[in-house]
Structure 1
Amino acid sequence: MKYLGAWRWLCAAGLLASAGALHAAEISITDDRGVTVSLPQSPQRIVSVLPSLTETVCELGQCHRLVGVDRYSNYPAMVRKLPQVGGGIDPNIEAIVALKPDVVLMATSSRGVQRLESLGVKVLAMEPRSSTDAQRVMGKLGQLLEVPDAQRIWRAIDAGVSAVAQSLPPGARSLRVYYEVSSGGYAAGTHSFIGEMMTRLGVQNIVEPSLGPFPRVNPEYVVRANPDLIMVGSRNVQGLELRPGWRGIRALREQRLCVFTADESDVLVRPGPRMAEAARLMARCITEKGVR
């Protein structure tokens, strides 16, 4: 009887330990909406519908967990083989649900968040707009994926940007720059991750901080600011000189215009693992077109 009692005690202790281990495996993350999302364990099936989040998952060495992405997620190359579930703002809800994800990573501005949650799908909504946001997202995804060295990866990215900044000539600091992010006159504001990088590289952003991270600016605003250098993607450059008064802007008059390819623009407009590469692209533009 003594041995039987001991055996029962050991079994009970084992069950309690197992329950404790299962409880410890639960993961809770508070996303950019302030919503806490709880999962019983680290997700093995992930759908990402924001390119910067897709790239961050892969940089953390967890690309193999992705089972679907948005149509714009194209890096690294392996994600191009995954099922596409529409755009990030208006994703294909049925296609996402059919993939049976443990969690969906998407922007807070996506119209699919509430619909997916109403169908019982876990959603982690994050939308990095600044460098601080990108660092925080890296940490949260590291926690979600149980990758302990996420901040080490971020420090390497940050060090890469600093190295690029130190390589620029002193003449770069006098440059006044306009960066057009997308068609319709949407610019990179001072407090956006692009604007913050411009500051780190020593140039002056013509967009006033009060206008926000990615404001839509009037063409006349740019004419009045008269930037020394303009940065724009190849998708948005057409008709630039035809805007009222733009032919007289110093940057266009002196041919100080950097036109980034589609692939380069993808690097520049995604706040994540390739930010050091983005700094190099921007620095090359400043050196080749801006500094005289």
Structure 2
Amino acid sequence: MIGACLAIAVSAEQSAQPANPHADVLSIGGSVTEIVATLGQGHRLKARDTTSSYPPEVTNLPDVGYMRALSPEGVLSVGPSLILSEEGAGPPEALDVIRAADVAFVEVPNALTTKGIQRKIRIIGKALDVPTRAKALSARVGREMTKAIQDSTRPEGDKKRVLFMLSTQGGKINASGTGTAADALIRMAGGVNAITDFPGYKQITDEAVGMAAPDVILMMDRGGDHGMADDELFDMPAIKLTPAAQNRAVLRIDGLLMLGFGPRTAKAVRDLNHALYNEGA
């Protein structure tokens, strides 16, 4: 069985301080919050959304709710002077009300590439008035990503087929096709996305899973009682006849690390590559 257990030490520079009277920023989106902290501006965070879980200190901040189900009252009640929001927050009618309020609102575009991550960093750095720090962090991330991707390169014939499963609600598999963060990470880490027939995430049939013939199942590490046990996973009719089930090959990785496409993505690339090819972290 392939396993990945990831832990990251948080530096003092990244620590958020909820009691700071000068905190003025509401961060919506896990990667946005992580970039704010990595830029040394964690002390300015006044509140965050539910997806913001790294660095761990930010979980002590007021939580305005899930980024795709925000309420204007909840967002504005924390009294931010600046809202940094990842693209895709909503619902749209709630954002219309929030944007109409007397609060600076900066939307940060999603990213699936190194340049996209660097752009996110620069946009956030500009909004926080720390462009020099953002330039330095952007350059560092660029170097780390380039090396991680180069080190993960595999010959085509050696690449493992990876099926990313977003959920298994009702026994139906919701899997990643092309153009997703999971798809991008799999390719960066030297793997092949086993599902390429459609873009985005979609519920797929048992037959489609069988035809995909994944060597490895990749899932978010939901922890506790929220995750699916190995025996239950490999006993699913769609999975049980795949190469992944025969080898009991499943990887569970922290969702924000894997799909956030922020400052730690180079680590996610390395860790996934090492886990796929048994090279050790």
**Displacement of 1:282:** 0.6
Counterpart code for 1:86:
G
Counterpart of 1:247 (choices 216, 240, 243) is 240
Counterpart of 1:117 (choices 85, 99, 105) is 99
**8 Å contact 2:81–2:104 — kept in the other structure?**
yes
Counterpart of 1:288 in 2: which secondary structure?
coil
Q: C-alpha separation between the residues in 2 aligned to 1:187 and 1:135?
A: 28
Counterpart of 2:78 (choices 99, 110, 129) is 99
Matches within 5 A, 1:14-33: none
Q: C-alpha separation between the residues in 2 aligned to 1:218 and 1:134?
A: 34
Q: C-alpha separation between the residues in 1 aligned to 2:118 and 2:217?
A: 28
Counterpart of 1:248 in 2: which secondary structure?
coil
**8 Å contact 1:178–1:187 — kept in the other structure?**
yes
**8 Å contact 1:178–1:206 — kept in the other structure?**
yes
**Displacement of 1:190:** 3.5
State the structure with bigger RCO (CA 8 A, min sep 6), 1 or 2.
Answer: 2
**8 Å contact 2:185–2:258 — kept in the other structure?**
no
Q: C-alpha separation between the residues in 1 aligned to 2:59 and 2:123?
A: 24
Counterpart code for 1:204:
V
**Displacement of 1:286:** 0.8
Q: C-alpha separation between the residues in 2 aligned to 1:233 and 1:116?
A: 31
Counterpart code for 1:126:
V
Q: C-alpha separation between the residues in 2 aligned to 1:73 and 1:203?
A: 28
| Cα separation, partners in 2 of 1:161 and 1:93, compared to 1, 3 Å | same
**Displacement of 1:169:** 7.9
Report what 2:116 is aligned to.
133
- Please identify the structure whose Cα radius of gyration is greater: 1
CA RMSD across the alignment: 2.7
| Cα separation, partners in 2 of 1:169 and 1:54, compared to 1, 3 Å | closer
Q: C-alpha separation between the residues in 2 aligned to 1:189 and 1:77?
A: 31
- Aligned sequence identity (%): 23
Instruction: Note if 1:193 corresponds to 2:173.
Output: no
**8 Å contact 1:108–1:126 — kept in the other structure?**
no
| Cα separation, partners in 2 of 1:77 and 1:234, compared to 1, 3 Å | closer
Instruction: Note if 1:270 corresponds to 2:254.
Output: no
Report what 2:271 is aligned to.
281
TM-score under structure 2 length normalisation: 0.75
Q: C-alpha separation between the residues in 2 aligned to 1:212 and 1:134?
A: 21
Counterpart of 1:220 (choices 204, 207, 217) is 207
Aligned length: 243
| Cα separation, partners in 2 of 1:159 and 1:222, compared to 1, 3 Å | farther
Report what 2:24 is aligned to.
45
| Cα separation, partners in 2 of 1:284 and 1:80, compared to 1, 3 Å | same
**Displacement of 1:126:** 3.0
**8 Å contact 1:186–1:216 — kept in the other structure?**
yes
More helix by share: 1
**8 Å contact 1:237–1:259 — kept in the other structure?**
no
Report what 1:72 is aligned to.
51
| Cα separation, partners in 2 of 1:174 and 1:104, compared to 1, 3 Å | same
Q: C-alpha separation between the residues in 1 aligned to 2:233 and 2:58?
A: 34
Q: C-alpha separation between the residues in 1 aligned to 2:128 and 2:29?
A: 17
Q: C-alpha separation between the residues in 2 aligned to 1:214 and 1:138?
A: 26
Q: C-alpha separation between the residues in 1 aligned to 2:125 and 2:259?
A: 22
Instruction: Note if 1:204 corresponds to 2:192.
Output: yes
Q: C-alpha separation between the residues in 1 aligned to 2:96 and 2:205?
A: 34
